[in-house]
């Protein structure tokens, strides 16, 4: 019995020493957070609102001679601004000027300069373009220069033969535009032959006038300067060759201003002001030239 107790005691002591010999594993510590990292930007990016579309109406009234150029400009403006409506009322220069004075339209159209009394009443003229009208003959015609008086006498029938103005002994054939044409009214007003011309033919387009003169050695006609081709010869008038420069500086006699009329103290609508700014900028020059007149800018 004693032997058994001694054996058990020895076994207990051995187990106790084995337990004391084992070491407890050290506890692990989490790595500290990196406080130097850049903060995350959670702010939504700013957005830029799209520009508001131009809308509204632009009303013009006046000169019938300006129909082609103002129509082309209005069409180009509406193409770029589809929410804008452009209108043109072809009533004549005097009526257009009066319409602006009475507030019945945004912009008046005049194919003459404003008179002193019109300016004194508060109206403002802005020259859009100059309308140069060339007097044309067949390239075979030796005549190269005519005075305004000679042109008037030719178109009223006082001079009927080219030999009377230094040309060949041949009948002068008078070619002009149809009644109501802006080119015709401009030509007749400047030369001083309104309702007095003895036309042989009255044609419905500038192209027809040029073609007819090109085919007839005795013919004389008139056409917008920008439309003149090398199939005809443009005459000097009072010694001045028709050109963009001579129309601009006023030395070429058969020319006139195309005027935009507004009223002092009256603020145009946003759409009307945008149209005014467009047509008076160099951006509109190509459209103005294509319409047969000389841009002022």
**pLDDT at position 182, please?**
76
Number of structural domains, the chain? 2
Domain with 220, as residue range(s), is 132-248
DSSP-derived letter for residue 169 is S
Determine, yes or no, domain membership for 210. Answer: yes
Alpha helices by DSSP H, listed for 223-268, are 244-248
Question: Is the pLDDT score of 11 beyond 50?
Answer: no
Determine, yes or no, domain membership for 49. Answer: no
- Domain with residue 84: its CATH number is 3.40.190.10
Q: Are residues 84 and 162 in the same domain?
A: no
At 134, which helix (H) or strand (E)? strand 123-137
**pLDDT at position 51, please?**
58
Determine, yes or no, domain membership for 278. Answer: yes
**pLDDT at position 43, please?**
52
- Residue predicted with more confidence, 34 or 138: 138
**pLDDT at position 50, please?**
54
Q: Are residues 244 and 137 in the same domain?
A: yes
Q: What is the pLDDT of residues 128-163, one digit of tens each?
A: 999 899 999 999 999 999 999 999 999 999 999 999
Q: How far apart are CA 176 and CA 232, in angstroms?
A: 15
**pLDDT at position 179, please?**
87
**pLDDT at position 250, please?**
87
**pLDDT at position 12, please?**
41
Question: Is the pLDDT score of 35 beyond 50?
Answer: no
Q: What is the pLDDT of residues 200-211, one digit of tens each?
A: 999 988 899 999
Determine, yes or no, domain membership for 9. Answer: no
Determine, yes or no, domain membership for 18. Answer: no
Q: Are residues 209 and 147 in the same domain?
A: yes
Q: Are residues 127 and 180 in the same domain?
A: no
Q: Are residues 213 and 140 in the same domain?
A: yes
Q: What is the pLDDT of residues 37-92, one digit of tens each?
A: 445 454 545 545 555 799 999 999 998 889 889 999 999 999 999 999 999 999 88
**pLDDT at position 111, please?**
85
Q: Are residues 148 and 194 in the same domain?
A: yes
Q: pLDDT-based confidence at 259, cuts 50/70/90?
A: very high
Determine, yes or no, domain membership for 45. Answer: no
- Residue predicted with more confidence, 117 or 6: 117
Q: Are residues 79 and 154 in the same domain?
A: no
Q: Are residues 155 and 240 in the same domain?
A: yes
Q: Are residues 271 and 136 in the same domain?
A: no
Q: Are residues 143 and 154 in the same domain?
A: yes
* Cα–Cα distances in angstroms (integers) from residue 212 to residues 11, 155, 215, 231, 243, in the given order: 140, 17, 5, 10, 22
**Does the model's pTM come out above 0.75?**
no
Q: Are residues 168 and 228 in the same domain?
A: yes
Residue of 217, 183, 219 lying closest to 200 (CA atoms) = 219
Domain edge (last residue) among 210, 225, 248: 248
At 90, which helix (H) or strand (E)? strand 84-90
Q: Are residues 88 and 154 in the same domain?
A: no
pLDDT, the chain, mean: 86
Determine, yes or no, domain membership for 152. Answer: yes
Question: Is the pLDDT score of 101 beyond 70?
Answer: yes
Determine, yes or no, domain membership for 25. Answer: no
Q: Worst-scoring range by mean pLDDT, 22-26, 81-85, 121-125, 241-245? A: 22-26
What value does the mean pLDDT take over residues 275-291?
Answer: 95
């Amino acid at each position: 019995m004693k032997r058994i107790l001694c054996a058990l005691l020895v076994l207990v002591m051995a187990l106790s020493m084995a337990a004391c010999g084992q070491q407890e594993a050290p506890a692990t510590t989490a790595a500290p957070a990196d406080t130097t990292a850049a903060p995350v930007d959670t702010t939504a990016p700013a957005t830029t609102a799209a520009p508001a579309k131009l809308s509204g109406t632009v009303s013009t009234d006046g000169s019938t001679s300006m129909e082609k150029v103002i129509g082309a400009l209005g069409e180009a403006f509406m193409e770029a601004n589809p929410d804008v409506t452009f209108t043109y009322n072809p009533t004549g220069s005097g009526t257009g000027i009066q319409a602006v004075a009475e507030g019945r339209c945004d912009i008046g159209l005049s194919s003459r300069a404003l008179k002193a009394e019109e300016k004194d009443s508060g109206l403002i003229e802005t020259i859009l373009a100059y309308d140069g009208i060339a007097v044309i003959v067949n390239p075979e015609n030796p005549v190269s220069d005519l005075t305004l008086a000679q042109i008037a006498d030719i178109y009223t029938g006082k001079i009927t033969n080219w030999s009377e103005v230094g040309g060949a002994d041949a009948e002068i054939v008078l070619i002009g535009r149809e009644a109501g044409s802006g080119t015709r009214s401009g030509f007749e007003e400047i030369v001083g032959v309104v309702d007095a011309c003895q036309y042989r033919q009255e044609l419905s387009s500038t192209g027809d006038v040029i073609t007819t003169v090109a085919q007839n050695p005795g013919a004389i006609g008139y056409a917008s300067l920008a439309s003149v081709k090398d199939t005809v010869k443009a005459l000097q008038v009072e010694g001045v060759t028709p050109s963009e420069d001579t129309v601009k500086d006023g030395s070429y006699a058969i020319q006139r201003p195309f005027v935009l009329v507004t009223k002092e103290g009256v603020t145009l609508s946003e759409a009307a002001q945008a149209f005014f700014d467009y047509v008076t900028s160099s951006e509109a020059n190509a459209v103005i030239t294509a319409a047969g007149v000389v841009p002022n800018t």
